[in-house]
Amino acid sequence: MSEQMPDIPFKSSILPKLLEEDTRIRFRCHTGISCFNACCKRADVTLAPYDIIRLKRRLGMSSTDFLAKHTVPFEMDADGLMGVKLKTDESGACLLLDGDKGCGVYTDRPTVCRYYPLGLLALHPKGATEDQQHYSMIVEPHCKGHEEDRELSIAEYRAEQGVQEYDDVNREWYQLLLKKRSAGPTVGRPPIASLQLFFLACYDIDRFRRFVLSDGFKGTYALDAEVYAMLERDDVALLRFGFRLLRQVLFGERTIDEQPAAWDKRAKERAPVWEARLEAEKRHWQEQQEARMREETTGKGEGA
Ligand code: SF4
């Protein structure tokens, strides 16, 4: 399962052959296949925001703990927009693999695992009015699923793998990435506070909730009490709200009503504090990651 991106082909300017919903593919994966689990033993899984919500619930932990224990951050673009990948062991095997039984979180597995061996490509061609969704085929030598005697359309494969729900929730995130990418230098490098807000809103949903329910946030944005109540109890609603907020913060779109004159006042008074706090949170998260890695290394050394 190497080099899968859920969407934006950040890594390459060369487009693979684009496939459509009605393209027919030959593929089947099942427990009896000779390569079963081989893809998970060389996992390179980039997580989309809804993947994290599903996985943290599945594992019964907060998003903050999930990120620290199960992911590694990486820069998705030259402006420092962060992504997260599932952590692997030294051999490259996904830590969520449950021995020979296969994926230990199968019904909550991430988007790229569901799509495999397809890659999902969200594009916004020059001059197009709407984003487009296409697919590409990933053919890796270890995968024998391509030799199986089964043919189906990509639409049928997507339905079988249950990706629709994931795509529906993640769609606005893909759009954000496309907009950021297509805006390029005209938007410039976002301030560090905006990059950190991107990380919080997209990945660390539980910490983002505390931020949204804080007095400082409520003093800035004019939301009804019912909206706050919904954001307090509903992860997906909060995630969608976060995507809207990011459009406002990253691109200056007025997607969320603000308290009268609050933005100017708050930006003037609080920007340095807000920036410092988010910077501290990022540092804290990175330190946690490093400490955990040190612990793991020490633990292995002791056990050897
Ligand atoms: S999450 Fe599951 S399907 Fe995806 S790489 Fe890990 S073990 Fe494999």
Distance between CA atoms of residues 71 and 86, nearest Å: 4
- What is the reported pLDDT for 286? 72
List CB contacts of 6: < 8 A, sequence separation 6 or more. Answer: 46, 47, 48, 110, 111, 112, 115, 120, 170, 174
Task: Please give all residues whose beta carbon lies within 6 A of any atom in ligand 1, as ranges.
Answer: 1, 40, 43, 45, 94, 96-97, 103, 105, 109-110, 113
pLDDT tens profile 191-230: 899 999 999 999 999 999 999 999 999 988 999 999 999 9
CA 103 to centroid of ligand 1, rounded, Å: 5
What average pLDDT score do residues 132-156 get? 95
Identify which of 3, 44, 45, 111 to mutate to test ligand 1's pocket (most ligand atoms within 8 A of the CB): 45
Q: Name beta bridge partners: 152.
A: 25
The torsion defined by the Cα of 70, 13, 170 and 42, in degrees rounded to 10, comes to -30
pLDDT at 273 over 60: no
CA 93 to centroid of ligand 1, rounded, Å: 9
DSSP label at residue 14 = S
pTM greater than 0.85: no
Number of other CB atoms surrounding residue 131 within 10 Å: 16
What average pLDDT score do residues 97-124 get? 94
CA 8 to centroid of ligand 1, rounded, Å: 20
Residue nearest to atom 8 of ligand 1 (CA): 40
CA 153 to centroid of ligand 1, rounded, Å: 23
